[in-house]
Amino acid sequence: MSLAVILFIAAAVTIAALVQSAVGVGFALIVAPVLAFLRPELLPTALLVLMLPLNLFVAWSERHALDRTGAAWITLGRTVGTFGGLWVLATWPPHALNLLIGGGTILAALASIIAPEFKPDHKAFVTAGVITGITETATGIGGPPLALTYQHHSPQVLRATVAFCFLLGGLISLAFLTAAGRADLGQVATAAMFMPPLALGVLLFLIVVFIHALVEALPIMHRWIDRPYLFIFPAIGAIAALVLAASILHHNDRWPFFAASIIFVTAFGTLAFSFWPYMIPFVITVDEAAAPYSSLAFMFWGEGILVFPLMLFYTFVSYRVFRGKVEATTGHY
């Protein structure tokens, strides 16, 4: 596989992972045509393998919104449809499968526009599952029937249920493909090579969500705008991280401890000054969370003025007494 092909597929996987993480469907619609054009022998096994961790991530993130009844009926139909997908793979020539992938992509786009609103029952769920079982086992694309079935549900229900059905359905299809001799370790290894671009797409989605939350929902964003001096903390932390990475690469043992300490201090400094004067953000201030004045005064005069100096003196004497009485040995610093 040439470098250009690897980079093109990796870019498609990253974009598809970002889209799937955001809306719950779309990964196969983006990646399958690319694989069909560049490396058709990887379909559908590599595509199914790539979708497993992505669907697990989406299903777990939205697990509270899962439509369990619909998912059960879809999985039933999905299992039955898997045999139809195996029949397609065994009897259709490769160029016909490519036409099925292209035609399925176009039909999915048209159906999402012209399909009327309806309330699916168990027959609709089973039908969608059967169609998904056939198309996903044969080509790796199985999202359009499920997306059409749940298009008028809330986005959370769509993402959770579709991802859960894809996760179970993908495992079912891979099991049957392996039993039929249509999946091998080479295809799985090739799919594993594109896991980093997949993770990059999910990371980009999380970054977008984080930025959106800061801009739209969290008052902390306005504090950073009003207090630009706060940026000095992450800037120092970033410089310390670069020093840490450089010292590790050059096997320099002098700087990692200091760099890690600076990263720790700047991280907590960023957190503390971002929320100051709140102890619990925007609920309880430091003054409100503090102990009564009498308790603080007792701790200052009793502990701070009397006990703490004695602790320092005791520590100094201990080091003074044992100084020079312990010698370094081989293997110790």
Cβ density class 63-81: b for 16+ within 10 Å, e for less: eeebbeebbebbbbbbbeb
Q: Which residues contact residue 57 at a Cβ distance below 8 angstroms, ignoring those fewer than 6 apart?
A: 21, 202
What span, in angstroms and rounded, lies between the C-alpha atoms of 64 and 67?
9
- Provide φ and ψ at 254, rounded to 5°: -80, -35
pLDDT given at position 117: 67
What span, in angstroms and rounded, lies between the C-alpha atoms of 144 and 29?
9
Q: How far is CA 160 from CA 57, 90, 166, 213, 298, in A?
A: 10, 32, 10, 21, 55
Mean pLDDT by 10 residues, the chain (333 residues): 89 92 84 88 89 90 90 92 87 73 66 67 88 82 79 85 90 90 88 90 85 68 75 88 87 85 88 80 82 84 85 90 71 53
pLDDT given at position 14: 93
What span, in angstroms and rounded, lies between the C-alpha atoms of 266 and 243?
14
What span, in angstroms and rounded, lies between the C-alpha atoms of 77 and 73?
6
What span, in angstroms and rounded, lies between the C-alpha atoms of 40 and 11?
17
Full DSSP string of 185-230: HHHHHHHHHTHHHHHHHHHHHHHHHHHHHHHHT-THHHHHHH-GGG
Confirm if 230 and 224 have CB atoms less than 8 A apart. yes
What span, in angstroms and rounded, lies between the C-alpha atoms of 133 and 82?
5
Query: Which amino acid appears at position 311 of this protein?
Result: M
Q: Which two tokens stand for residue 14?
A: 């990253």
What span, in angstroms and rounded, lies between the C-alpha atoms of 332 and 291?
45
Q: Which residues contact residue 294 at a Cβ distance below 8 angstroms, ignoring those fewer than 6 apart?
A: none
pTM of the model: 0.61
Q: Which residues contact residue 287 at a Cβ distance below 8 angstroms, ignoring those fewer than 6 apart?
A: 277
